Amino acid sequence: MHGVTGSLQLNKNVASRPRVVILGAGFGGLNATLTLKHAPVDITLIDRRNYHLFQPLLYQVATAGLSPAQIASPIRRIVAAQRNVTVFMDRVWDIDLAREEVITSQRRIPYDYLIVATGARHTYFGKDDWEIFAPGLKKIDEAIEIRRRILLAFEQAEITEDVETRRRLLSFAIIGGGPTGVEMAGAIAELAKKTVVRDFRNFDPGQARIFLIEAGPRILPSFSERLAESARRQLEKLGVQTVVNQAVTACDQKGVALRNGSRIDAATIILAAGVMASPAAKWLKVPTDRAGRIIVETRLNLPGRRNVFVIGDTASVTDARKRVVPGVAPAAKQMGRYAARAIIALLEGRETQHFVYRDYGDLATIGRKSAVVQIRRFGITGVPAWFLWSFAHIWFLVGFRNRVSVFLDWIWSYVTYQRDARLITGREG
Amino acid sequence: MHGVTGSLQLNKNVASRPRVVILGAGFGGLNATLTLKHAPVDITLIDRRNYHLFQPLLYQVATAGLSPAQIASPIRRIVAAQRNVTVFMDRVWDIDLAREEVITSQRRIPYDYLIVATGARHTYFGKDDWEIFAPGLKKIDEAIEIRRRILLAFEQAEITEDVETRRRLLSFAIIGGGPTGVEMAGAIAELAKKTVVRDFRNFDPGQARIFLIEAGPRILPSFSERLAESARRQLEKLGVQTVVNQAVTACDQKGVALRNGSRIDAATIILAAGVMASPAAKWLKVPTDRAGRIIVETRLNLPGRRNVFVIGDTASVTDARKRVVPGVAPAAKQMGRYAARAIIALLEGRETQHFVYRDYGDLATIGRKSAVVQIRRFGITGVPAWFLWSFAHIWFLVGFRNRVSVFLDWIWSYVTYQRDARLITGREG
């Protein structure tokens, strides 16, 4: 292993600086890369996509509020000036821990330090046949597919002459009452009741029915009970019906079946639940928790490997203060910075600290001027929460250009109620 | 036939106003619809897409300069306030001239007046096997596919260790030296030599080779010889090689073969030639010219049918002054307005004028600060032409929101050389 003692690399020239390989340019991998900007290392950053995605706003692409390019930044542009980084757009096939190499579809890439930050996908709980009926929301292409389905449902409702068909087309079922589900439900309600309300001649889009289905006893389980109840009321005002204590047992093209035997007819079904880590555990041949995440130590390294870090949604972490680290963007960023600093410490022969998660709060928006924010024991709701939510999301967007563009778009939407990315693309075109 | 004499509709109440069916919401169909805003008619506007596309800027989507939503406006939003319009997103299957009905995938829609404005597609000159190697540029999904190929070629050039492969990946062949081909060539050259120039570590993107291949004796045949030569020189300065008098005889995944027996190796091939009208002639069972366009009279109506108009790229028109009307956006808009006014005249029992095309000029951009503009016998080149081009394209974009957004984006790109829609999406994602 290279450089752990801090003396080895002193004997080497620049051409053979320690090699850091980072898998994934999400919040974790990207922040690790940027933190190593001035470190005497050669970084290879590998991602299967050519952009970093600001996932917290992906639901806005799915509901036609933003364009994909507004929440995605080319990875190469972000690190263009950081000369110690080489970016490969490639797929990871395996990791050879014995030879310390990452195997991609094109190359074998040796590492001295490895950061695995390949994120998570959604899972259908073993029911993969749901996928065609209920797309999930993790990738841009999935968001575009969901946008296509939502907009197409309204288009078909205008053409059909059958009342039952129209009713089903104007029904939307969202599976999962976490922040993504809440945000999707609120955005679809707004789309129907505000944005397109004057656009159709054969029906009233305000009649659209939106169902938010949660298996647990309440929506937003990570928030306090008071805030979850506030969110439920705010959603109700927008016309969203929340259905709790009801697991979905089946999906088909006409709707969903619930555990209690009832059905909800809906032409559009969206999966906002079921997160499963990337296949990193398979590459590393290590055990995982139930969500496929690798259980790492409080230094975020693979047990027994001080030079291999697993971070973000790929890792199951209980920090040095015994708190379970949640699968949110700020946590992934903190882990990315931590892993980068740990590598610098190892290179310099210093002892590394344990990882401590700093909880800055949890937030979800429900629609125009309404949101819920949980900062430790404090809760904020309504307009102030919405402003805080908007500010945070614009602030943390990657790239000045995106920040300005999203800011202007939101002002525009705020004044006009318009959602300007209302394009049905993909398939057939 | 309804309303042609101007007396019939006086006997009818509002509920049975003359029915105008418009096929296609491109420049022609949309302008016809808007011109009929205050006419006492019921309009059904049918398009297979839910948006009006500003096709002159489609090459900017294909080269990552703009996002799809910036050049597309939802049709419903454009006509939301025009209460005499119903929009159907649907496909036309046939037209029953005897019963005066349009047959779509969902309905039979009767008309008193019909405007056929279904535009054009590209054609592979009967060689449909070229399609997978050389996508054309008529639809948003095609533009996204071309963008994917261009950006992916650079990504793969970074990964490959084979010099020959890299050379082929960095070669781009554009078939067709008209305005679209010139604009694509200039934009790819700029992308390589300015935008991504600092982004790669294993090669210099400035080495990219761009070939603009034209079968005829010179590029831009619709412009004067002097302007075409100026464009050629401006392209050369950007590193684009123009190849004239050379038809492409074959396409495969390694490049193109030319009539003189030589080959150009290129991983990315783009078809910017070969326009074929939509299948409207088949629906109407009428003969066409070689490009599949329906030959109409100087009142733009189908021979023998005063109430059926064919306009835009679907029509082959020689106007009342014996000039051949070109297949450009301003001509389609003029024809749309003309057809709408002709319907109003028929309704009011007035005689209709013949169609006269007003030629406001022809323009093509080559890159930052360089363009060619032909206004009748006058030609403009370089920076003034570029400003005129930019102004015209922003001015004619549909929707205030798009105008502001594209304007800001161009200022941003102008200052930074960035193209912010550099996302590789579609397929796999």
- What 3-state class would DSSP assign to B8? helix
Q: Is B197 on the interface with A (CB under 8 A)?
A: no
Q: CA A372 → CA A35, A185, A224, A388, B146, distances in Å? A: 31, 14, 10, 9, 42
End-to-end CA distance of chain A, in Å?
A: 52
Q: How far apart are CA B205 and CA B192, in angstroms?
A: 5
Q: Rounded to a whole number, what is the distance in angstroms from the first to the last CA of chain B?
A: 52
Backbone angles phi, psi at A210, to 5 degrees: -120, 125
Q: Tell me whether residue B410 is exposed, middle or buried, using C-beta atoms within 10 angstroms of its C-beta: 0 to 12, 13 to 18, 19 or more.
A: middle
Whether the CB-CB separation of A189 and A238 falls below 8 Å is answered with: yes
Q: How far apart are CA B224 and CA B31, in angstroms?
A: 30
CA A380 to mean position of chain CA atoms: 23
Residue A87 has which token pair? 């970016």
Dihedral, CA of residue A401, residue A407, residue A408 and residue A410, to nearest 10: 140
Q: What pLDDT score does A14 carry?
A: 47
What is the pLDDT, as a whole number, of residue B186?
Answer: 96
Q: Is A106 in CB contact (< 8 Å) with chain B? A: yes
Task: Tell whether A283 lies on the interface with B, counting CB pairs under 8 A.
Answer: no
Question: How many helices (H) and strands (E) in chain B?
Answer: 11, 25
pLDDT given at position A15: 58
The helix/strand/coil state of A263 is strand
Confidence of residue B427 (pLDDT cuts 50, 70, 90): low
Residue with token string 């302007």: B227
| Residues of chain B neighbouring A81 (CB-CB closer than 8 A) | 198
Does A199 contact B76 at a Cβ distance shorter than 8 Å?
A: yes
| Dist CA B377 CA B394 (whole Å) | 24
Rounded to an integer, what distance in angstroms lies between the CA atom of residue A236 and that of residue A238? 5
In single-letter form, the type of residue at position A12 comes to: K
Phi, psi of A41 (to 5 degrees): -135, 160
Considering CB atoms only, which of B87, B404, B424 is closest to A50?
Answer: B424
Of the candidates B142, B183, B190, B214, the residue annotated as catalytic is B183
Chain B from 38 to 57: CB within 8 A of any A CB: 49-51
Count of A–B CB contacts within 8 Å? 141
Q: With contacts defined as CB-CB under 8 Å, which chain B residues touch A60?
A: none
B70 touches chain A (CB under 8 A): yes
Average pLDDT over residues B331-360: 96
Which tens digits make up the pLDDT trace of A88-106? 999 999 999 999 999 999 9
Give me the percent of chain B exceeding a pLDDT of 90.
75
Of the candidates A183, A214, A348, A351, the residue annotated as catalytic is A183
Strands B315-316 and B294-295: parallel
Q: How far is A51 from chain B (nearest CA, A)?
A: 6
Q: Which pLDDT score, from 0 to 100, does residue B15 have?
A: 59
Cross-chain CB nearest to A77 (options B139, B418, B428): B418
CB of A35 closer than 8 Å to CB of A345: no
Residue of B nearest to A408 (CA): B405
Residue/partner pairs of A199-202 with CB below 8 Å, 24 or more apart: A199/A154, A199/B74, A199/B76, A199/B77, A199/B80, A199/B87, A200/A154, A200/A157, A200/A158, A200/B76, A201/A158, A201/B85, A201/B86, A202/A157, A202/A158, A202/A159, A202/B86
Nearest CB to A69 within list B106, B151, B421: B421
SS3 call for B166: helix
B209 token code pair: 């080779």
H-only helix segments in A97-178: 140-159, 163-169
Partners of residue B70 in chain A, C-beta under 8 Å? 67
Give A424's contacts in chain B (Cβ within 8 Å): 49-51, 89
In whole angstroms, what is the distance from residue B276 CA to residue B278 CA? 7
| Pick from A106, A140, A151: CB nearest B429 | A140
pLDDT at A274: 82
Q: What is the pTM of this model?
A: 0.91
Q: Whole-angstrom Cα distance, residue A310 to residue A33?
A: 14
Q: Which of residues 151-180 of A touch B (CB under 8 A)?
A: 151-152, 155, 158-161
Residue A22 belongs to what H/E stretch? strand A19-23
What burial class does residue A273 get, using C-beta atoms within 10 Å of its C-beta: 0-12 exposed, 13-18 middle, 19+ buried? Answer: buried
Residue of chain A whose alpha carbon sits nearest to that of B83: A201
- The predicted structure's pLDDT at residue B406: 86
Pairing of strands B113-116, B305-310: parallel
C-alpha–C-alpha distance, residues A407 and A400, integer Å = 11
Please indicate whether, in this complex, the C-beta atoms of A160 and B106 are within 8 angstroms of each other: yes
- Closest residue in chain A to residue B80, using alpha carbons only: A199
CB contact under 8 A, A421 and B69: yes
Question: Residue A323 has what DSSP assignment?
Answer: P
How far B85 CA sits from the closest chain A CA (Å)? 8
CA distance A254 to chain B (A): 19
Contact B67 A67 (CB under 8 A): yes
User: What residue of B is the nearest CA neighbor of A159?
Assistant: B88
Q: Provide the pLDDT for residue B361.
A: 86
Q: Is B285 on the interface with A (CB under 8 A)?
A: no
- CA angle A396-A399-A403, nearest 5°? 65
| Partner-chain contact A90 B49, CB within 8 Å | no
Q: Do β-strands B305-310 and B301-302 pair in parallel, antiparallel, or remain unpaired? A: antiparallel
With an 8 Å Cβ cutoff, are A155 and B86 in contact?
no
Question: Could you give the angle at which helices A27-35 and A329-347 cross, rounded to 10 degrees?
Answer: 30
Which residues from A are below 8 Å from B423, CB to CB?
50-51, 68-69, 72, 74, 140
**C-alpha distance from residue A280 to each of A301, A317, A355, A415, B73 (Å):** 13, 15, 21, 45, 42
A201 — contact with chain B (CB < 8 Å)?
yes
CA B264 – CA B172 distance, rounded (Å): 9
Q: Which of A27, A21, A20, A28 is nearest to A336 (CA)?
A: A28
With contact defined as beta carbons under 8 Å apart, do B85 and A199 qualify?
Answer: no
Distance from CA of B288 to the nearest CA of A (A): 26
pLDDT of residue B1 exceeding 70: no
Nearest CA in chain A to B420: A69
Please give the Cα distance from A67 to A61 (Å, whole number).
6
Residue A208 in contact with partner chain B when CB distance is under 8 A = no
Q: What span, in angstroms and rounded, lies between the C-alpha atoms of A291 and A45?
A: 25
Query: Closest Cα partner for B272 from B62, B73, B54?
Result: B62
Angstrom distance (rounded) from CA A179 to CA A412: 24
- Distance CA(A392)–CA(B65), nearest Å, equals 27
Q: Is B183 assigned a catalytic role?
A: yes
- Judge whether B85 and B33 are in contact, CB under 8 Å: yes
Written as tens digits, the pLDDT of chain A (429 aa) is 444 443 344 444 445 899 999 999 999 999 999 999 999 999 999 999 999 999 999 999 999 999 999 999 999 999 999 999 999 999 999 999 999 999 999 999 999 999 999 999 888 888 889 999 999 999 999 999 999 999 999 999 999 999 999 999 999 999 999 999 999 999 999 999 999 999 999 999 999 999 999 999 999 998 999 999 999 999 999 999 999 999 999 999 999 999 999 999 999 999 998 888 889 999 999 999 989 999 999 999 999 999 999 999 999 999 999 999 999 999 999 999 999 999 999 999 999 899 999 998 888 998 878 899 998 888 999 889 988 888 888 888 887 778 888 888 888 887 887 887 888 887 653
Q: Which residue of A has its CA nearest to B77?
A: A199
The b-or-e profile of A167-178 (16+ CB within 10 A means b, else e) is: bbbbbbbbbbbb
> Which B residues in the span 125-154 are in contact with A, Cβ-Cβ below 8 Å?
139-142, 144, 151-152
Q: What is the pLDDT of residue A164?
A: 96
Flag if A70 and B68 touch (Cβ within 8 Å).
Answer: no
Backbone φ and ψ for B94, nearest 5 degrees, come out as -165, 170
Q: Cα-Cα-Cα-Cα dihedral of B413, B414, B416, B421, to 10°?
A: 10
Res A28: pLDDT: 97
Q: pLDDT digit string (tens) for B171-211?
A: 999 999 999 999 999 999 999 999 999 999 999 999 999 99
Contacts of A69 in chain B (CB under 8 A): 67, 420-423
φ, ψ (nearest 5 deg) of residue B16: -125, 50
Please give the pLDDT value at position A46: 98
Q: Is A252 part of the contact surface with chain B (CB cutoff 8 Å)?
A: no
Best of A48, A107, A159 to substitute, by most chain B Cβ atoms within 10 angstroms, is A159
Mean pLDDT of B127-131: 89
Per-residue exposure over A340-372, b if at least 16 CB sit within 10 Å of its own CB, e if not: bbbbbebbeeeebeebebeeebbbbbbbbebbb
Q: In this predicted model, what pLDDT tens digit does every residue of B22-78 receive, in sequence order?
A: 999 999 999 999 999 999 999 999 999 999 999 999 999 999 999 999 999 999 999
- What is the pLDDT confidence band of residue B410, given thresholds at 50, 70 and 90? confident
